[in-house]
Amino acid sequence: MACTERRLGLLLLLGNLVGALLNFFYFQFIDTSAPPLDQRLRGELLAYFVIVFALAVGIGLMVSRHWRRPLRDWVMQSTPVADVEAIVRRRALLLPYVMAAVSLAGWTLAGVAFGVVRPWLLGTFSIGNAIRQIFGITVVGGSVTTAFVFFSVEHVWRRRLPLYFPRGDVSATDVARVNVRARLMVIFLLVSVLPLSLLGVISYTRAGALVGADPALADTLLGELSIFIVFMLMVGGLVAIGLAVFVSRSVAGPLRDLESAMGEVGQGNLEVRCPVVSHDEIGNVTEGFNRMVEGLRERDRIRDTFGKYVTPQIRDEILAGRVALEGQAREVTILFADLRDFTPWVEAHDPREVVRDLNTYFGLMEGAIRDHQGLVLQFIGDEIEAVFGAPIPHAQHPDLAVGAALEMRRRLASWNGERAAAGRPPFRHGIGVHTGRVLAANIGSPDRLSYALVGDPVNVASRIQGLTKDVGADILVSADTARHLRAPPPLAAVSAVTMKGKSTAVDLYRVV
């Protein structure tokens, strides 16, 4: 921060020196209509100039430092005070404008001091001379100095501005702004209107001097006019180039950063953030870009979180709006899986071990269901409910469900092998599979919904799972499911069972 303070003070001093130099050339070569100065007053004029210049620059430095003090204190505080945050942010945005205004006020004061106060003290005051002095000092030197200070300070300050707006919410601070059009208009006035005004002044003064002048004096005046034209071409060109460079940087720099950030997003990098360094249209566009990237990151977080509950294919279909969640009647295959003798095992083991083993089991089983395009609807204690064929329809949902049951059997056997090697007891489970027509919909309260199945086939599938204990099988499928299998595994018929709520017996098959 100290380095930035020194640079800002140096820019203020340098800008005023440039203006003073420009004023010297202006009154030396352009506006030479002032009466010759008495030799005895030259030292007095020099002392007066030094006093006025030192006074104006000193006041400007003190005012600018006073304005910047809260900004410095804010950065240096380990715990910034929230009550002054709004004030500090306003000052951070207004700093270039304030320093430019201080410079303009100093040059206005100088114009009054040399055009009004000094002639009045000497008894030589006149309206015409006052207008000439104020125009040359305030309009010519002051405008160039003010523009130089504003654009140079803004260029340096942009590197510090993100410290006060870490979230990039510059537009949330209510301050007046200078848009890009106004910037370009200022530059247009300085590189076109101001030189034309100077040409008008020198043309008027030289024309008045040529009236009644002898040929030798006329040649001298024309030679001075030629020198002035060369001076205008050189100095005006340098000023125009310098101002154009500052303005082009103030516009092209943020746009180049924005273009680079957009390229990063195009390559999939959503962690990129473009610094907001201006309070104009470009700053607003940059803020909008950052909000867009934040929205993309949020969307990806939602997709990743959603993908933990459904398969990526189902997730993408739902988020793309191609799956109706308001309710559909369709034929699906339902799978229920339940651990055997789970309650006694829970009572005999440490709760942390229970949770760890249960999560491992659920992870293995959910992976098998996911690999076969199934959707786990819910985990109920030690039970799993899954569906195949919804919300995305699939013609082979019975085969997918039975394939998932077989994969669950294989995964449990592999895990039990690892548990046996570690001297831990094995797990057993029962799986019931049934096919039928259900209502699939989002069900719940306005604040909490879950994708669920409603219909008798859900109850049948749950009871088939419960019957695995009675028949001594780990996988049972209903006749409805077996009838729809295109590539059935080896099945063994089980005696028909009459279930609660059913008037007829249900044929079941054990997956061998």
pLDDT in tens, 190-233: 666 666 666 666 666 666 666 666 777 667 766 766 766 676 66
Q: Is 143 helix (H, G, I), strand (E, B) or coil?
A: helix
pLDDT for position 369: 95
Query: Looking at the domain assignment, is residue 438 inside a domain?
Result: yes
Q: For position 342, which CATH number holds?
A: 3.30.70.1230
Q: Is the pLDDT of residue 83 over 60?
A: no
Residue with tokens 């797990």: 427
pLDDT for position 80: 53
pLDDT tier, 495 (very low <50, low <70, confident <90, very high otherwise):
confident
**What is the C-alpha separation between 163 and 151, in angstroms, rounded?**
20
Question: Are 500 and 412 within one domain?
Answer: yes
Question: Are 155 and 227 within one domain?
Answer: no
Beta carbons within 10 angstroms of residue 90's beta carbon: 15
Q: Is the pLDDT of residue 474 over 90?
A: yes
State the chain's mean pLDDT as an integer.
Answer: 79
Considering only CA atoms, give the Rg of the chain.
42
Question: Are 150 and 113 within one domain?
Answer: yes
Question: Are 32 and 135 within one domain?
Answer: yes
pLDDT in tens, 33-46: 555 544 445 566 66
pLDDT in tens, 344-369: 888 888 889 999 999 999 999 999 99
pLDDT in tens, 170-202: 777 777 666 777 767 776 776 666 666 666 666
Could you list the residue range(s) of the whole structural domain that residue 433 is in?
325-511
pLDDT tier, 381 (very low <50, low <70, confident <90, very high otherwise):
confident
Average pLDDT rounded to a whole number, residues 415-436: 94
pLDDT for position 325: 59
Of 167, 188, 223, the residue that ends a domain is: 167
User: Which two structure tokens, joined as six digits, stand for 408?
Assistant: 């669950």
Question: Are 236 and 384 within one domain?
Answer: no
Of 244, 273, 291, the residue that ends a domain is: 291
pLDDT for position 37: 47
Q: Is 160 helix (H, G, I), strand (E, B) or coil?
A: coil
By the 8 A CB rule, do 432 and 468 touch?
Answer: yes
**What is the C-alpha separation between 465 and 470, in angstroms, rounded?**
10
Query: Looking at the domain assignment, is residue 303 inside a domain?
Result: no
Beta carbons within 10 angstroms of residue 401's beta carbon: 31
Q: How far from 179 is each of 106, 289, 314, 448, 472, CA to CA, in Å?
A: 25, 18, 47, 46, 80
User: Which two structure tokens, joined as six digits, stand for 389?
Assistant: 């064929």
pLDDT tier, 257 (very low <50, low <70, confident <90, very high otherwise):
confident
What's 203-266 look like in SS3? HHHHHHHHCCCCHHHHHHHHHHHHHHHHHHHHHHHHHHHHHHHHHHHHHHHHHHHHHHHHHHHH
Question: Are 374 and 503 within one domain?
Answer: yes
Average pLDDT rounded to a whole number, residues 24-35: 65
pLDDT tier, 308 (very low <50, low <70, confident <90, very high otherwise):
low
Question: Are 156 and 184 within one domain?
Answer: no
Tally the domains of the chain: 3
Find out whether the peptide bond into 391 is cis, omega within 30 degrees of 0. yes
Q: Is the pLDDT of residue 137 over 90?
A: no
Beta carbons within 10 angstroms of residue 499's beta carbon: 16
User: Which two structure tokens, joined as six digits, stand for 311?
Assistant: 């398969």
